[in-house]
Amino acid sequence: MTKAGVNGKPKVAFIGLGAMGRGMAIQLLSEGFPVSGFDVNPMSLETLLAMGGTAAPSPRECVHDASFFICMVANATQIEHVLFTESVGAVFGLKKDATIILCSTVAPGFPQKILDQIHHRFCRPDINLVDCPVSGGTLRAAQGTLTIMSSGAQNALRLAHPVLQSFSQALYTIDGGLGSASKVKLINQHLAGVHIAIAAEAMGLAATMGINTKQFYDIVLKSPAHSWMFENRVPHMLCNDWSPHSALSIFVKDLRIVTSEGLNENFPLYIASAAERLYQFAARAGYEKEDDSGLVRIFIPQNLSLISEATHRESHAADHERTSRMICLILSIVHGVAAVEALSLGIKLGLSIKALNSIISNAAGASKSFAAVATAMMGQQIAPIRTLTQSRDILKQATVIAQTYDYPLQITTTTLQLLQQAVARGLGDQDQAALHVLWNPLAL
């Protein structure tokens, strides 16, 4: 018999009450679901208790009598620990026909691996599993407005739908079976990780070149250089706030998933690999547990508060406009080339550009350049913004100027090399969507 609250809604076990998980669990409570929680952080459990949930001393006891088990821990290793630790793991307490909702960002093959172990090693063929990564950040988690990607068996998806709907604004079902949703999340994280990295690179350059960083931020929000991550993360840079709204270690992990998938598929990921190295460097510099926006500090090691200090700077109007325009162009071009790389990987993984465009436009990987590139790669006619030769020349000029400041343009110069390749192949008169031949030579 299903354990249910007074309103008849089934009990939900929630493990992983971190920055996003806590908001998701509280949202479930507000929707009338009984919620039992487990987390290694006692403060998170106290918050859940204060909001009307219950706290469990172990994963096994947390999932007892729950129809649904949402797992929102940090990585694959933690998932295996939560599920399979001898005697206290969740697998030992799951009720008959329970549904696991796996919300962590993992490699596409991992959900099926977990389900196979549950079915065969632990002899629980009755258990359902939904691959269900989420996007949107801590605020949208608390508001119940996340973008959710889901895949799995039809019956499992049907059962999980009311639960997922309670904390989502956009809920997508991805065709292709278990793991397909994680493929989509992988593409989103490729873009989101690159967008934070180029935002950091751009803000460091703006401050180094003497412009008011707050004014520059406002300019970007109204320009084609806008991305969801720029709008969301740069305010942390502007006020020197490195408290972990989303820890930098998450993108060390997530971009490793992205680049590892590229290695598995023998698929080159130039920009994602460059971004991954920046996160790794920042983690080794001691920023791993702080906010991912703190990546900007590796670009300004002589003065780690430069971005914040530059919010009060007075700059000459003509210089400010000229420099701001150049850096906006850097952002726009990099976002566009990154979109081609990410969408090309999506195609390699069997995903459709149409589906990716719809989903990512509502997720953290969104940017104005992504929308334009996706539209063009779907074969729809749009007015070209600039040719590949023009984009190359803009980045060449920016690189020369940055050299006079001894400023490292890591993501920008990687993007420049790709544009150099494209122009050398005779694609200079085409727009950014034509870059897909660098990842799919047979399309030339």
Candidate list 9, 185, 214, 253, residue with the active-site label: 185
Distance CA 332, CA 281 (A): 25
User: Which residue in 171, 165, 203 sits closest to 184, CA to CA?
Assistant: 171
Annotated active-site residue 185? The verdict is yes
DSSP label at 101?
Answer: E
CB 191 within 8 A of CB 340: no
Backbone φ, ψ for residue 38 (5° rounding): -140, 135
Sheet of 99-102: strands edge to edge?
54-55, 35-38, 12-15, 68-71, 99-102, 128-131
59: which 2 tokens? Answer: 């994963």
Backbone φ, ψ for residue 6 (5° rounding): -65, -25
Burial class (CB in 10 A: 0-12, 13-18, 19+), 304: middle
196: which 2 tokens? Answer: 């934070």
Tracing tokens 């991992």 back to the chain, one arrives at 110
Q: What is the DSSP string of 244-256?
A: -SSBHHHHHHHHH
243: which 2 tokens? Answer: 């408290």
Backbone torsion region of residue 127, taken as left when φ is above 0, otherwise alpha when ψ lies between -120 and 50, otherwise beta: beta
**Residue 399 CA: distances (Å) to CA of 198, 262, 295, 402:** 14, 28, 20, 5
Q: Kindly give the residue spans of alpha helices, DSSP state H, lying in 222-269.
A: 228-238, 248-264
CA 434 to chain centre: 25
Tracing tokens 């460097």 back to the chain, one arrives at 281
Q: Which residues are catalytic?
A: 185
